[in-house]
Amino acid sequence: ILFLSYGPHPFHKALAEALNSENTEIISHKQNDLKKILLYLSNVLRRKFDEYNILLCEGNFLIPGLFKYLPLRSFKKKIINISADSNLYYLKINRIKPIKKYLMLKALRNIDLFICVGEMESILLKEIFPEAKFVVVYPFIEKERYDKLLNLPIKKEFNHNILFIGNGPDWYYKGLDILVRSFIEIKKIYKDTNLYVLGSWDKKIIEKFKFEGVNFCGFDDVCKYIEKSSLYLHLGRGEAFSISTLEALLGGLPAIVSEWTGAKEVIRGIREDFVVPLDLKKIVEKVLEYFSLSDREKMDLSLKAKEMGKRFEKSIVLNDFLYKVKNYLV
């Protein structure tokens, strides 16, 4: 198996390592489109490429998927794609330019197996490509962070601070705009509220969403901000399955998420109505409702959150993954 890494994301890298894949960055985000094509072609034409039966793609299926249409045996590898990005949702809502959309839909037909990270990705996939073969897997929290979060106590004291964890540059996908707009409305009621945004965002985006009480904190100690906050709010638009939501839960922080955040299937186990539509008024109403709960009710939700977060331990997740994909690797 040859892993055509794009980033790679630590979770996707772990999946590749579990399959004993060899890693290459020939079509990673570090290359421009033309260089990706040329590097892929040059590698396919090398004798060493014939040693691989399967290409494992980190969402970057477009080039190998399209070249599979060519009548050369070297291009006819089995392709497995890790689906955990904006592609399927953006295809659904037509947020992709027509030519690229056409090419992506053609390439999708040549994928032999989709590893859908979360149930929502599989639902989107079936809408776009009903004949697709797929397995549903779930991410894990890295062991060191898992242990730290697990050791955080159940919350007993509550404020009106809100936490969000996510990286740019795609603020639309992460729902950063509606998050900040919601916060502005919440701050009209709770003057002492703060929004902590952890993760990497460039200066233009930080300036775009600047507002009193909105704090872009960069990469910092997640545990510290979980302890400083009373709610995790994640309003993704097609985000497959945010590990950050799982981390917040394991730290004992209740979460409200959008209906287009894949982690909603976990949040429903805490409270069904903590999954909200991407509607400003309804988001604000739900956050205000949460803040109005008694400390006892919030403590119960904190306990439920922690129990849900415990499920996403690395060994459990990887064993489940290997069990599900083993029949596709022959």
CA-CA distance, 87 to 104, in Å (whole number)?
9
pLDDT digits (tens, 9 = 90+) for 39-85: 999 999 888 899 999 999 999 999 999 999 999 999 999 999 999 99
Closest CA to 234 of 252, 215, 259: 259
Q: Which residue has the tokens 């392709």?
A: 79
pLDDT digits (tens, 9 = 90+) for 259-295: 999 999 999 999 999 999 999 999 999 999 999 999 9
Chain centroid to CA 189: how far? 31
The total of other beta-carbon atoms located within 10 Å of residue 99's CB is 8
Residue 330 has pLDDT above 80, yes or no: no
From 311, 285, 263, select the one nearest 164 (Cα to Cα). Answer: 263
4 sits in which H/E element: strand 2-4
With a CB cutoff of 8 Å and minimum separation 6, the contacts of 306 are: 150, 154, 249, 250, 251, 252
The model's pLDDT over 155-184, given as tens digits with 9 standing for 90+, comes to 999 999 999 999 999 999 999 999 999 999
Nearest CA-CA partner of 77 in 59, 57, 58: 57
Q: Residues 6 or more apart from 267 whose CB is under 8 A from it?
A: 245, 255, 256, 257, 274, 275
Helix (H, G, I), strand (E, B) or coil at 23: strand
